[in-house]
Chain A
Amino acid sequence: NAGVMQNPRHLVRRRGQEARLRCSPMKGHSHVYWYRQLPEEGLKFMVYLQKENIIDESGMPKERFSAEFPKEGPSILRIQQVVRGDSAAYFCASSPRVGETGNTIYFGEGSWLTVV
């Protein structure tokens, strides 16, 4: 059973370009979460999605950031017009269906974005 798959693992973008990070959840998982880890900091929740729905985006920056989880295909975190402060590790996580108390969520290996 493959784990949470993220790609690319490393991405370099120039200021002003767009970054797209992809995440395929574990098989059988219908809930996806994105977290950001800035240098020397812990992980911060960004967004929680189910298929075709954004459930909680309280941690998303108001501008330039968007996320989707289409009916088919991976979840995508999109950052438009990247700035140096966007340089971070972005982690995707997934969990099984709602209803399990204290769901364990499983993390991917992360995507490291460097903005030059």
Chain B
Amino acid sequence: AQSVTQLGSHVSVSEGALVLLRCNYSSSVPPYLFWYVQYPNQGLQLLLKYTSAATLVKGINGFEAEFKKSETSFHLTKPSAHMSDAAEYFCAVIGGSGNTGKLIFGQGTTLQVKP
């Protein structure tokens, strides 16, 4: 069965600092992995996804993530944090065959950006 673990429920960085949000997955099949962002009282917006093409995936808003099979990780990074990046971030893996939208989500990481 697939699962996702996000290390750190809260991460705080200064504006302009590196953002690193950690995600480890467990999957018995090649995984499809996603990062979503959720702003307060809003739905989820897709940041990026990994579907077994390039291991370094670039997303929107300057975010990127690297798939590392040996470490079963898919950490999200951004070189320089902006105040508008403050939100909750969810890592997810498709649970089951690759053709379903049955996503298994991590618990989420709240990113705080300090001025």
Binding site for B on A (CB under 8 A): 4, 31, 33, 35, 41-45, 48, 55-56, 91, 93-95, 98-110, 112
What distance in Å separates the Cβ of B101 from its nearest Cβ neighbour in chain A? 4
B interface: dominant SS: loop
Residues of B within 8 A of A (CB): 32, 34, 36, 41-46, 49, 51-52, 90, 94-95, 98-108
In whole angstroms, how far apart are the Cα atoms of A48 and B106 in the complex? 19
CA A109 to CA B14, docked complex, whole Å: 29
Whether A110 contacts B43 by the Cβ 8 Å rule is yes
CB-CB nearest in chain B for A58: B102
A-B contact list, 6 entries, CB within 8 Å: A31-B101, A101-B98, A102-B94, A107-B43, A108-B43, A110-B43
By a CB distance below 8 angstroms, the chain B residues around A95 are 101
* Contact B95–A91 (Cβ < 8 Å): no
Q: State in angstroms the CA–CA spacing of A48 and B95 once bound together.
A: 12
Query: Is B107 in contact with A42, judged by CB distance below 8 angstroms?
Result: yes
Q: How far is the CA of A45 from the CA of B8 in the complex (A)?
A: 22
A-side contacts of B32, CB under 8 Å: 101-102
- Sorted from nearest, which 4 A-B pairs have the closest CB atoms? A102-B51, A105-B101, A42-B105, A102-B32
The CB with the most chain B CB atoms within 10 A, among A42, A48, A99, is that of: A42
* Among candidates A45, A91, A98, residue contacting B44 with C-beta atoms closer than 8 Å: A91
